[in-house]
Structure formats: C-alpha cells, structure tokens
Amino acid sequence: MNYRQLEAFRAVMEAGTVIGASHLLRISQPSVSAHITNLEHTLKIQLFVRRRGRLVPTAEAQLLHEEAGQIVKGMMRLRRLAGDIQQLEAGRLIVGAYPALSSIVLPRFISGFAGRHPKLRLALMPEASVRIAELAASKQVDIGLMAMPVIDPATSCDLIFETASVCVLPLQHPLAQKDRIEAADIGDETFIAMGREDGSRQAVERSLDEAGVRVEPRFEAHFGDSACALVAEGLGISIVDPFAAERWRGLIAIRPFEPRVPCHVYLTRSRSHVSSLLQQRFELELRLYLEEQFA
C-alpha cells in the first residue's frame, strides 16, 4: 500500500467513477484502475462493486475511507515538510551564546536569518561560556557560542572568529576625541575592569603589563554590557568585547585599543550530534556575518 493507491481510492470514493477520479488526480483512467486493483490485492479486501458504470463502495471501503483520508493528509504534510527541509526553510535550532554576543549582535543576525527561513523555529539561551559547554555536551543546545575554548571529550570546539577588544569611554571624555586609544592613555584614568572569572580580564592585564602600564580598577563588572552601562554613567573607561559595546553605540564612545587585546568566538556542539542542513547554513552565515560586521 502506498500514497498513490490511497490517493486513487479517495478520489474514486469522491467521484464515484474511474473517469471522475482520473480528472481529479490528473492521471489516466488505466492508472486509477491499476492503483485500485493493487490496493485491493494488498489489503485482500474488495473495495468497489461496478453498477451501471459507477463504482459503488463496499461496506469495507466505507470503513477505510475516513482513515485513508487522514493517512493521505499526513503524507501530504510530510511531503511539504520534506520540501521545506530541502529548501532549508523548516527546522528547529537551540542556540546557546555568551551574554556579550547574545545581547544584540546575535539577535540582529537571527532577524535576517529568520527572514530568509520563514519556517525556522529557534530558541536563544544566553549563558556563561562554561555553562554553554555543559549544555552542548548534554545535547541541550544544538550550537554553543563561547568566548573561550572548553576542552571536553563529549564536544567539539572550533574557533570561528577572532577580532579585537575595544576601549569604551563616556561621550564627553577628553580621550573620546582620539581615533584610537593606547595603553599609555589610560594609566591615570578611572578604570572599570571585568570580573576576575572573565577570561578577557587576564588578556587585558597582559596587554597593559607588556605596555608597561598599570591600572587599579575602581569598579568591576561581571558582563561587558554592565561595564558599558557604568561607562555610560560617566564612572570611568573600560576595555570590552566589541559585541557588548555594539548595544551601546551612540550612548558611549567606542574606539580601537592598542596594544591589541584579542577577542574570540568559539563554536561548540556535541560530538554525537548530527547537524541538520539548516544548522549548517546557520553556522556558515554566522561566520560570514561576523566577518562582515566586526573583522
């Protein structure tokens, strides 16, 4: 029993004749007859009796009709879904991302991606990088985006993008007049550091030490977004992930910083996870988007 046989059965039930069914299905009369004969052979049930040029359904056919309709409708939905999957329009993704990336940059990318894939269903989970690695290992996220690599035999971890951290200042700060900020410029400034558990803090401190500059942070912020909020209140300057700074563009000054403090995006997923076509497209387009916007 196959889809075509059930489709022919339903058409004959509705039209009452092979000719009518062939018109409904836009196939030849012999094809309709063959489908019905093969279906009766498969089911070992007589479905129709010929009377005066019409096919009169048997009681057994009446019993099968409603169920066959549900099966045909279900198979039609499966066909449409398969077509959508092939066209990369349908699918579900669960994406975990560290806060700086998930605050505005990733939602902007998702907006464009969802517009190109209108049947996409997506869940976005902002979490710390270590937590994202745990979620990927337990298959609770399809894609994890982290600021630092995490070694776990249950997951793969790939560097997909690297850029430089930026210096953020109050709009009216005298240093905001400069095109770029150097380490020597911030030695006497009130500095807002990232929390000690944040990997970027160590990178900033190494860069300042190599430049012979020492700062004593007056404030600390757990997230880059929080550091930018403190800067916007005029409480000092900071060096943050450019993704965190993007949400505050226009409210604070954002300048390149020297020496370069690298900023990374790592992509992790479970090693036993098989990526869908839609997920592969998401990952590729995200890499391209980051390169275009932040390289």
Q: What is the 3-state composition of the chain as percent helix, strand, coil, each rounded to the nearest 5? A: 50, 25, 30
Instruction: Render pLDDT for 75-132 as a digit per residue (tens, 0 to 9).
Output: 666 566 555 445 445 578 999 999 999 989 999 999 999 998 888 899 999 998 889 9
Q: What is the pLDDT of residue 85?
A: 47
Architecture in CATH for domain 3-86 = Orthogonal Bundle (1.10)
Scan for tokens 């430089």, then name that residue: 164
- Summarize the confidence of residues 2-21 as an average pLDDT: 82
User: Which of 66-70, 100-104, 178-182, 197-201 shows the lowest mean pLDDT across its residues?
Assistant: 66-70
Distances from the Cα of 16 to the Cα of 33, 46, 49, 52, 56, angstroms: 13, 15, 11, 11, 7
- Summarize the confidence of residues 152-168 as an average pLDDT: 93
Q: Is a pLDDT exceeding 50 seen at residue 151?
A: yes
**What is the distance between the alpha carbons of residues 238 and 218, in angstroms, rounded to a whole number?**
11
Q: What is the pLDDT of residue 214?
A: 85
What CATH number labels 90-162+264-294? 3.40.190.10
Does the domain made of 166-260 have the CATH classification 2.60.40.1290?
A: no
Q: Is a pLDDT exceeding 70 seen at residue 141?
A: yes
- Summarize the confidence of residues 133-150 as an average pLDDT: 93
CATH topology agreement for domains 3-86 and 90-162+264-294 = no
Find how far residue 245's CA is from the centre of its chain. 22
Question: Quick one: CA dihedral 170, 172, 178, 182, positive or negative?
Answer: negative
Question: What is the residue extent of each domain of the chain?
Answer: 3-86, 90-162+264-294, 166-260
Q: Yes or no: say if 246 and 228 are a contact pair by the CB < 8 Å rule.
A: no
